[in-house]
Chains A and B, each alone.
Chain A
């Protein structure tokens, strides 16, 4: 790990002061100051030399670790609440089973005890070329190229990729938050603003080095999840991976259905993980389910629309062509399961 300066911040104002480049001494190291929360991804990237910030501002002392109920029935997730505390929070389990389930599908218990909600949103791709500082990578070193496109791409994108980058966002939590229309509240020296979840992460385009629409000095304060009561009875997070636990998704599906008394779908929410540079949502595909009975044919049409434009990358054993039919089946399976009821990531909750 590179040497760096370290400071603890006690409140958000102090943290923002500390992250700002020192006046008159805006060295490269200062420009690379970073907030430190759980550290589970940042410290790992620093060990690999992928990131070499000159200064870390430890924000773990900030009072942003609560889960609060909002007046409208939504929930406010503190940026520094740990993933485990969020997933096991009784209100989250009751009102947002999709979120709880996605969180518990991610990482390991140890990492969930450490990782924060804000940090989960900002974690970097686990593309092995991004992590290996000895090979080219447009995300790590812009302009050097992308070996994954013609290399080992099982963990890579089938949607929304560019000629410059085929990396995926690795989060499970974000897939659920995208489906639930969450809003990210951030603060900077210029004030505060709300970012709709769909606008937080970006596609790689010709700037794969930029993961999100956040400015470097913006601090995530909390994440608001609007009321989702109509979906609570029909929510499923299906995660397919190389092994059955403690692995990143090849494909994951967050599916939530609002089914009326007549048994017809009023609204559907659907987001994919492991397939794109951001959680993949296509509102037009969801709209295809409105008014439909929850049946396989309708789910397959929806999957077709959601996967429109899917394209394989990688070569030989590294090809991810298998992910396109796999994603299609996963979408249908998740929707069929959601139609039957909600599944939590515990063995006692099968419908």
Chain B
């Protein structure tokens, strides 16, 4: 039951707060004054479930998902907005969970990789990634999948080259880019092999070559 889960999360956080208020330990200098009032109450709709949590304002959405709600499908890669591994959908738009505070998203509808399948039925983009073998180690995959769905929601990609450019916010250190681009193009543009137009002609000034 959605509410049960949400309450569990909330209760867990409340207990955590009473015993040991969490603070990040890596700050070189903390203000000398008393700590500011912390723990704001927020409600998030995550993958169709309602989570009511009390959270410090300095917790990122990524850390909330992974460390406090145990939704560890979303990955922490660089934690600085450079790799795209933490991509989640906020109100249907792809965003980086590492560069937003959880409190900024009070009331928002959030979809993580855990929310893509319907029960045992995988999302078409998940099936396409499997079909195209679009991963090796898999660490970037949750972000790639959410980013691909965001790309489709945006509706701006009309060719393989545009898919490649508009997936450029997701790095894959295994280098599965060719297969990733084909998988995304198959779902976003339609079946069949998609070919790069750009590869057949010289780079055009001013465009962003994908």
Contacts and interface: CB of A to CB of B under 8 A. Distances in A.
A322 interface: no
A345 interface: yes
Given A4-B58, A245-B168, A246-B169, A55 B36 contact: yes
Contacts of B123: none
Contacts of B99: 39-40, 43-44, 111, 114
B83 to A, nearest CB: 10
Contacts of A347: 159, 161-162, 165, 197-198, 207, 210
Given A6-B40, A28-B31, A54-B31, A348 B205 contact: no
Interface string A181-220: 0000000000000000000000000000000000000000
B204 interface: yes
Nearest to A350: B204
A26 interface: no
14 contacts: A2-B31, A3-B58, A29-B33, A36-B104, A39-B101, A49-B27, A52-B31, A88-B154, A108-B84, A108-B168, A109-B154, A245-B208, A345-B165, A347-B161
- Which of A28, A52, A111 gathers the greatest number of chain B CB atoms within 10 Å? A111
B143 to A, nearest CB: 9
Interface stretch (B2-10, B45-53, B89-97): B89-97
Interface residues of A, number: 56
A23 interface: no
Given A1-B24, A334-B206, A52 B166 contact: no
A2 B58 contact: yes
Interface stretch (A137-145, A232-240, A282-290, A294-302): A232-240
Contacts of B103: 6, 58
Given A1-B24, A3-B38, A110 B150 contact: yes
Given A27-B33, A49-B26, A334-B206, 11 more contacts: A1-B27, A3-B38, A5-B36, A39-B101, A43-B60, A46-B58, A58-B103, A114-B96, A334-B205, A343-B204, A345-B165
Interface string B67-84: 000000000000111001
B30 interface: yes
B37 interface: yes
Interface string A68-81: 00000000000000
Interface string B188-209: 0000000001100000111111
Interface of A: 1-6, 27-29, 36, 39-40, 43-44, 46-47, 49, 52, 54-56, 58, 60, 84, 88, 101, 104-105, 107-111, 113-114, 133, 236-239, 244-246, 333-334, 336-337, 343-351
A29 B31 contact: yes
A245 B163 CA distance: 12
B87 interface: yes
A246 B209 CA distance: 11
Nearest to A28: B31
B147 interface: yes
Closest 6 CB pairs of A and B: A108-B169, A6-B57, A343-B206, A245-B168, A5-B36, A350-B204
Contacts of B168: 108-109, 245-246
Contacts of A336: 205
Interface magnitude class on chain B: 35 or more
A96 B74 CA distance: 37
A110 B56 contact: no
Nearest to B38: A3
Nearest to B80: A44
Contacts of B197: 347
A27 B165 CA distance: 46
A52 B170 CA distance: 29
Given A6-B101, A238-B206, A40 B198 contact: no
Contacts of A351: 204
